[in-house]
Structure 1
Amino acid sequence: MNETMQGLKRTHYCTEVSESDIGREVVVCGFTQKTRDLGNLIFIDLRDRTGIVQLAFDDASDRAIMEKAAKVRAEFVLMAKGTVRKRESVNTEIKTGTIEIFVTDLRILNEAKTPPFEITDETSVKEELRLRYRYLDLRRSEMQYAMQMRHRIVKIARDYYDENGFLEIETPILIKSTPEGARDYLVPSRVHPGKFYALPQSPQQYKQLLMLSGFDRYMQIARCFRDEDLRADRQPEFTQIDLEMSFVDQDDVMTVNEGFMKRVFKEALGVDIETPFRRISYEEAMERFGSDKPDTRFGLELIDLGDVLAHCAFKVFAGALSAGGAVKAILVPGGAEKLSRKEIDKLTDFVKTYKAKGLAYTRLTPDKETSSFEKFLSEEEKTALRQKVGAQTGDVILVVADGDKQVVYDSLGALRCELAKRLSLIDESKFDLLWVTDFPQFEYSEEEDRYVAKHHPFTCPKLEDVDKLFTDPAGVHALAYDMVLNGCEVGGGSIRINDPELQEKMFEALGFTPEASHERFGYLIDAFQYGAPPHGGMAFGLDRLVMLLLHKDSIRDVIAFPKVQNASELMTMCPAEVDEKDIRELHIAVMEKENEE
């Protein structure tokens, strides 16, 4: 029969007990990590969210207490009162390794079945099993630390932005669907048959309306939802540190958020980072790194070969350049020793997943040189190419050519990161922070056969580019900026449009008729008629930020109850079917999925 806590109150968390408490009586509680029964000696490692302390029982213990301690097994819930004493055998692996608690009162508050996996950090258990029993997985100290770090960063955010004049204001979860971006999650309305709410992809429009309402500095720890395909750093529901400011320009927004990151690194990690952060333009990022979120902790930068190969006889290169595309290379210093022909074949398959048609190469080994393309070049072209990339004996040159520049950027941008991992070129202890600015206002969607907003329809274009909205949309740059940490976007934002006429033009440039724009965004357009201050802001991806600070590979490791690749949650097995009665009340019908041939 389980016992009660009656008469006992916790005085310390497990790792709060220290040598300064020797001789004092304390009360601790938690889960049993492990037991060691040596007959006349019993030791129990008690674990709570702070860590482990050893409970000791010996010849001086009451017989009933010894018998009770002998019954304890892993994950039993215990409460113990006792006297702190110095430990005979020191354990340097734990914070409380020099002391132990000689127990005078032991309560078994709850017994536990043998868990499906051991509650330790050194676990090789498959993630599916960990997620099925997430409440057990969360007991592991590694997961406990991740949740504590998440809490700490949220607290820092609230404190920092409060000190800088921001008000935390909640915005609605049930909103109007305004499809322009990822797919919305829709919620049927029972009281308005045939009509639907949407779950917010972000509080974007509401935070702009708050600026129009006179709350010139807003922030929110905001829950957001996107019905899109998942990957390691994506979830259908996620959390943003969201903010907006009035009467500011781009530099103001960037400066205040650099201050936030400086505070996070100092208070959460004890690391001093330099501000202001480096800034590079979108164009420079793509040309040098093939990515708008470049990892600059290592080299392997893209090198343009268009000038030295403009008139070459190799049709793959010449054809790409004549089609308005690009030919770019990565030089791998010392790569000939590490990248065999077989390895290069694997890298060729890798770039093909990014739509590249192939990967040309030259291996400058000391004994002989091999190349998949240099036989098509003149001696002058071959010399000019090697000089351009700075190649020396022992190096490898890798080249991608395509008539679509984006294919070259995507494939080589991914390849440089893959090579850095394979060749161990990344200093994982380093934090690399920078801004990417001057994004394109639009990007062309092959699926929709039109230009769509690169960020969202409310992003302000650079004023000098406004006259290109209809004549040269590809040449319009936005007042948009992304903060990048170690090759991942951790936050992004823009200065917003506050001129009603410019906003109407933007909707028109995106293909909306006046009727369509008013149908979707009429309330915002109307609000602009009553005076909209200049404003801008950004949002941090909290999950991704915590993931990067803890050097995790997936945001699932920093979210208490995450979804898996197919957007389901393995612990509660949702989504799940509901009663037919509930479906009827919502005035909707569920169609059977057609069999795929």
Structure 2
Amino acid sequence: MHAYRSHSCADLTKTDVGADVRLAGWVHRIRDHGGVLFIDLRDHYGVTQLICDPDSPVFAQVEKLRSEYCIRIDGAVKARDAGLINAKIPTGEIEVFIRDMEILGSAAELPLQVFGDQEYPEETRLRYRYLDLRREAMQRNMVLRSDVVAAMRRRMWDKGFREFQTPIITASSPEGARDFLVPSRLHPGKFYALPQAPQQFKQLIMVSGFDKYFQIAPCFRDEDPRADRSPTDFYQLDLEMSFVEQQDVFDTIAPVIAGVFQEFGGDKTVDAPEAWPQISYADSALWYGTDKPDLRNPIKMQDVSEHFLGSGFAIFAKLLEQDGTEIRAIPAPTGGSRKFCDRMNAFAQKEGLPGMGYIFWREADGAMEAAGPLAKNIGPERTEAIRQQLGLGVGDAAFFLGGKPQAFERVAGKARTVIGDELGLTDQNRFAFAWIVDFPMYEADETTGKVDFSHNPFSMPQGGIDALSGDPLKVLGYQYDLACNGYELVSGAIRNHKLDIMIKAFELAGYGEEEVRKRFGGMVNAFQYGAPPHGGCAAGIDRIVMLLAGTSNIREVIMFPMNQRAEDLMMNAPSDPTSDQLMELGLRIIPQD
């Protein structure tokens, strides 16, 4: 017999009754029923009930066991009494009588319990992650992650892609986040960077003549943490293709993503890829207040500025006299009660706005009546025009925000989400996808007015080099994202493969030709030797698994994540370097005031 086990803790069934077996695993739970000990033994695969009474030669040893001891047992398989069968587990018809036992690893007092559903502070869970990972939900999440990655790989190979690995130590590149820098010992004073993405390398793979590339790629960005983003590193399904247009990329990646969600999404509906809408960035901001809309929520915001021009509601009327301002309405079907409207107004105040105007429609004396402060100020004619534009009726409401869109869009988007959730309008049993297209290539800093890239700097501008001769803030790129249920899952672009257009595009963002040639010498040189048109995208694996696992915290699907302060409490990282390490690298730490 094997030194540790003849079966896993999920293998034994009624057909094994009478067999002598050897099992190994962790003591999950112990129950003492009048001197008869019942032990749930757990391994990665399942649970088997063990039984031990004073007739066992190792009863005294078994009595000393505690939760999470790692043990090996030998015993005989017995059938459970009919009234004690547990139909919820594969081994529920049997139990194993312990005849011999060996403690493989004892356990100290536990900082968190593996058995049960107790909640523990995240700091405790991350500090003792190896214990946290033993819990059933975490085992399930990590298996899901592994299976999703395997499914992605299989689907990419089936589409004719080959997997190639790109360097981890490379040069700094402007990808929209801070680099992690790595000091060079051989070149004192110089630094490598961990790649924010394999962007330049995958483009060079296309220039090298490999038509289809993909990789399960680690990426490193020094970012501020949030629930759906890791502050240090993450993994993405990275792909690139030659001789393609935007739609070709969509047609390639959409079935891969849809297939993964259909395979692992349980009973939730997954819209067919051909039904995924393509929404411009501008329309997405207008309708949903975000570039990653949740289309499970049917609410679509609208511009209703014309109805407030010169109206009796002075706040909005005066706002509209300023350039770049508008009034937007958030329809709220079935939200037509003063109590709900007051609650949403309080929500806006908590978000830092003075409030949120509203109108609701009710029945009065057999007719429909518009109610609320706004309705009184603008009169029945304007109110009726708003109602007809929004397609609302008795029992419905609408909420209004005004000013420059960039000042209220974020709150409007959050309000749309809250309204959809509270009124039960959002379909919780669906994965709803949408392509967001026509991103602006550039954005201006609100304080300095400086123009910089708003998205991927290596994207092809729509209209080519001619588009770069006018207002840079009006230039659109062949850039696209895939949103699902309010999260960005995929981001990509058709690449700028023409050197003259690339140099001009970077010049508009303040990078001179000399700096471009210095920072991106590899690509600049390569583009002189017959670069093909190419494009691609990257899908965030961590975020995809997070959605499939039904959690809103990305750390629940990463095996060893950092905490929200970008610390690894288990391995004590980041840590102080030794004096010898600093000396060898030619570095000195300057204390912060």
Q: Confirm or deny a common fold (TM above 0.5).
A: yes
Alignment partner, residue 253 of structure 1: 249
**Contact 1:313–1:376 at 8 Å: present in 2 too?**
yes
- C-alpha distance after superposition, 1:45-65 (max 9, x if no partner): 011122222112246x43x22
**Contact 2:346–2:355 at 8 Å: present in 1 too?**
no
- C-alpha distance after superposition, 1:286-337 (max 9, x if no partner): 2221221111112222122123223324333233333222211112223244
Report the alpha carbon displacement of residue 449 of structure 1 after superposing the two structures with TM.
2.4
**Distance between the aligned counterparts of 2:154 and 2:591, measured in 1?**
50
Alignment partner, residue 188 of structure 1: 183
The 3 A distance-change label for structure 1 pair 372 and 198 is farther
Q: Which of 325-334 and 548-557 deviates more?
A: 325-334
The 3 A distance-change label for structure 1 pair 536 and 179 is closer
The 3 A distance-change label for structure 1 pair 8 and 527 is same
**Distance between the aligned counterparts of 1:408 and 1:516, measured in 2?**
37
Alignment partner, residue 347 of structure 1: 347
Letter matched to residue 239 of structure 1: Y
Letter matched to residue 99 of structure 1: I
Aligned length: 582
Q: Which of 361-370 and 207-216 deviates more?
A: 361-370
Q: Which of 246-255 and 439-448 deviates more?
A: 439-448
Alignment partner, residue 226 of structure 1: 221
**Contact 1:121–1:142 at 8 Å: present in 2 too?**
no
**Distance between the aligned counterparts of 2:265 and 2:27, measured in 1?**
29
Letter matched to residue 436 of structure 1: I
Alignment partner, residue 26 of structure 2: 31
Alignment partner, residue 83 of structure 1: 76
Report the alpha carbon displacement of residue 173 of structure 1 after superposing the two structures with TM.
1.4
Letter matched to residue 6 of structure 2: T
**Distance between the aligned counterparts of 1:20 and 1:478, measured in 2?**
64
Consecutive unaligned residues of structure 1, counting only runs of 5 or more, are 1-5
Alignment partner, residue 65 of structure 2: 72
**Contact 2:348–2:415 at 8 Å: present in 1 too?**
no
Report the alpha carbon displacement of residue 141 of structure 1 after superposing the two structures with TM.
0.8
**Distance between the aligned counterparts of 2:472 and 2:116, measured in 1?**
52
**Distance between the aligned counterparts of 2:461 and 2:22, measured in 1?**
62
- C-alpha distance after superposition, 1:135-168 (max 9, x if no partner): 1111101001111111111111222212222222
**Distance between the aligned counterparts of 1:568 and 1:266, measured in 2?**
35
**2:331 partner SS:** strand
**1:452 partner SS:** strand
Query: Matches of residues 262-277 of structure 1 in structure 2 within 5 Å?
Result: 262-269=258-265, 273=270, 274-277=272-275
**Contact 1:306–1:328 at 8 Å: present in 2 too?**
yes
**Distance between the aligned counterparts of 1:198 and 1:359, measured in 2?**
46
State yes or no: 1:199 paired with 2:194.
yes
Query: Matches of residues 136-215 of structure 1 in structure 2 within 5 Å?
Result: 136-215=131-210
Alignment partner, residue 3 of structure 1: none
Report the alpha carbon displacement of residue 366 of structure 1 after superposing the two structures with TM.
6.0
**Contact 1:278–1:434 at 8 Å: present in 2 too?**
yes
**1:482 partner SS:** strand
Query: Matches of residues 452-531 of structure 1 in structure 2 within 5 Å?
Result: 452-463=452-463, 466-531=465-530
**2:40 partner SS:** strand
**Contact 1:185–1:225 at 8 Å: present in 2 too?**
yes
Report the alpha carbon displacement of residue 592 of structure 1 after superposing the two structures with TM.
1.3
Alignment partner, residue 427 of structure 2: 427
Alignment partner, residue 48 of structure 2: 53
**Contact 2:370–2:380 at 8 Å: present in 1 too?**
no
**Distance between the aligned counterparts of 2:484 and 2:225, measured in 1?**
21
State yes or no: 1:290 paired with 2:289.
yes
Consecutive unaligned residues of structure 2, counting only runs of 5 or more, are none
Report the alpha carbon displacement of residue 555 of structure 1 after superposing the two structures with TM.
0.4
Alignment partner, residue 443 of structure 2: 443
State yes or no: 1:396 paired with 2:397.
yes
Alignment partner, residue 560 of structure 1: 559
**Contact 2:344–2:415 at 8 Å: present in 1 too?**
no
The 3 A distance-change label for structure 1 pair 25 and 438 is farther
Report the alpha carbon displacement of residue 365 of structure 1 after superposing the two structures with TM.
5.8
The sequence identity of aligned pairs, in percent, is: 38
The 3 A distance-change label for structure 1 pair 509 and 502 is same
Q: TM-score, normalised by structure 2?
A: 0.92
Letter matched to residue 259 of structure 2: R
Report the alpha carbon displacement of residue 340 of structure 1 after superposing the two structures with TM.
4.2
Alignment partner, residue 241 of structure 1: 237
**1:436 partner SS:** strand
Report the alpha carbon displacement of residue 121 of structure 1 after superposing the two structures with TM.
5.2
State yes or no: 1:315 paired with 2:314.
yes
**Contact 2:20–2:76 at 8 Å: present in 1 too?**
yes
**Contact 1:351–1:359 at 8 Å: present in 2 too?**
no
Report the alpha carbon displacement of residue 495 of structure 1 after superposing the two structures with TM.
0.9
Report the alpha carbon displacement of residue 370 of structure 1 after superposing the two structures with TM.
5.1
**1:335 partner SS:** coil
Q: Which of 575-584 and 533-542 deviates more?
A: 575-584
**Distance between the aligned counterparts of 2:570 and 2:76, measured in 1?**
40
State yes or no: 1:280 paired with 2:268.
no
State yes or no: 1:16 paired with 2:14.
no
The 3 A distance-change label for structure 1 pair 514 and 242 is same
**2:277 partner SS:** strand
Q: TM-score, normalised by structure 1?
A: 0.92
**Distance between the aligned counterparts of 1:450 and 1:500, measured in 2?**
24
**2:591 partner SS:** coil
